[in-house]
Amino acid sequence: MALGSSFLAILVLTLAVAASPLEARNGRVSLPLARRTNSTGVTNVLARDQARAQFLKNRGHSDLRSRSGSIAAVNLVDTYVVSVGIGEPATDYTLIVDTGSSNTWVGANKAFVATPNTVNTGNIVDVSYGSGSFFGDEYSGTITLGNGLSISKQSFGVALEAKGFSGVDGIIGIGPIDLTRGTVQDTNEVPTVTQNLYTQKVIGEQVVSVSFAPTTSESDANGELTFGGTDPSKYTGSIAYTSVIVDDVVSSNPDSPSPQASHNHLTC
């Protein structure tokens, strides 16, 4: 799945220490971020990174046709995932951190486990991405980020059918709320995880930041996803901010039917 041209969240990309266990501090909620390798048949991290570096070098000297022919190198990037609990008692799901969409959903790999706390709203959810899609039922229930930090009555999808999501259970969407428009039956917009954390006074700001460090393993919890601000221990100097484009997201796939099709996974 491709990395879009821009992120729709504030990403603090630093050479940071490895992530610590999830914690809330100063109105922020932080949880460990792990990378998931998308490559197939490539087990050597150094070889993979060398291939990626060569692709980036060649891209500056190639035309559009040669770039599109280098998809295998692009697919060597790493997707970042977090563990999120749903229901009471919670079942943990491995979800892609996606800055280019805003729906949160499960069911692509591990089957959804319903609890008395999770309620089927009776509405259908249907989202298409540039490199995948899912269709299913919209639920409401408790989402847990760990150590008792939870969001009540969070809307989330449960896939009846999912395409393009091998090895993960779904997505936690941290993009703007307008990207949920038209995705759920009889619903104008779906409040996001970030919004509900703020509304329920778990965090002090509607800000999402990310830090991650270099790693030498195929699957490594080498980063941190923070809701509610930035973590000063992860950077030096000051953070520069820029305005977010308010127009509809422009897809990197011109044939995609959905405004979410740019599908900006957090990748490295």
Per-residue model confidence (pLDDT) at position 104: 98
Split into its structural domains, the chain has a count of: 1
Q: How many percent of the chain have pLDDT more than 90?
A: 37
68 in a structural domain: no
Asked, for residue 16, whether it belongs to a domain, the answer is no
Tell me how many degrees the CA angle 249-251-253 measures, rounded to the nearest 5.
Answer: 175
In a domain, 229, yes or no: yes
Say whether pLDDT at 148 is over 70.
Answer: no
For residues 125 and 133, what is the distance between their CA atoms, to the nearest angstrom?
11
pLDDT-wise least confident of 48-52, 140-144, 221-225, 237-241: 48-52
Distance CA 200, CA 227 (A): 13
Report the pLDDT averaged over residues 140-169: 91
Within-domain flag for 248: no
Under 8 Å between Cβ of 66 and 251? no
pLDDT at 213: 72
pLDDT interval class at 50 (50, 70, 90):
low
Residue 161 has pLDDT above 90, yes or no: yes
Check: pTM over 0.85? Answer yes or no.
no
pLDDT tens sequence across 207-246 = 888 887 766 655 566 788 888 888 888 889 998 888 766 5
Domain annotation covers residue 181 = yes
Residue 11 pLDDT greater than 50, yes or no: no
Lookup result for tokens 């409040």? 191
Asked, for residue 224, whether it belongs to a domain, the answer is yes
Specify the pLDDT at position 133. Answer: 94
Q: Residue 45: is its pLDDT beyond 50?
A: no
With a pLDDT cut of 70, the percent of the chain lying above it is 60
Give the pLDDT mean for 24-51: 56
164: left (phi over 0), alpha (psi -120 to 50) or beta: left
Q: Is the pLDDT of residue 47 over 90?
A: no
Q: For position 107, which CATH number holds?
A: 2.40.70.10
Residue 70, beta-bridge partner list? none
Range with lowest mean pLDDT among 140-144, 146-150, 183-187: 146-150
**What does the pLDDT read at residue 154?**
98
For residues 26 and 119, what is the distance between their CA atoms, to the nearest angstrom? 32
Closest to 16 measured CA to CA, from 227, 176, 220: 220
Q: Exposed/middle/buried for 53, CB within 10 Å: 0-12, 13-18, 19+?
A: exposed
Q: Could you identify the residue written with the tokens 């800055």?
A: 99
Hey, which of 8-22, 24-38, 41-55, 148-162 has the most confident mean pLDDT? 148-162
User: Residue 112 domain-assigned?
Assistant: yes
User: Is pLDDT at 112 greater than 90 in this prediction?
Assistant: yes
Range of the domain at 144: 23-38+77-234
Residue 219 lies in a domain: yes
Of 22-26, 27-31, 92-96, 196-200, the least confident: 22-26
Q: What is the pLDDT of residues 54-93, one digit of tens each?
A: 544 554 444 433 332 212 222 235 678 888 999 999 999 9
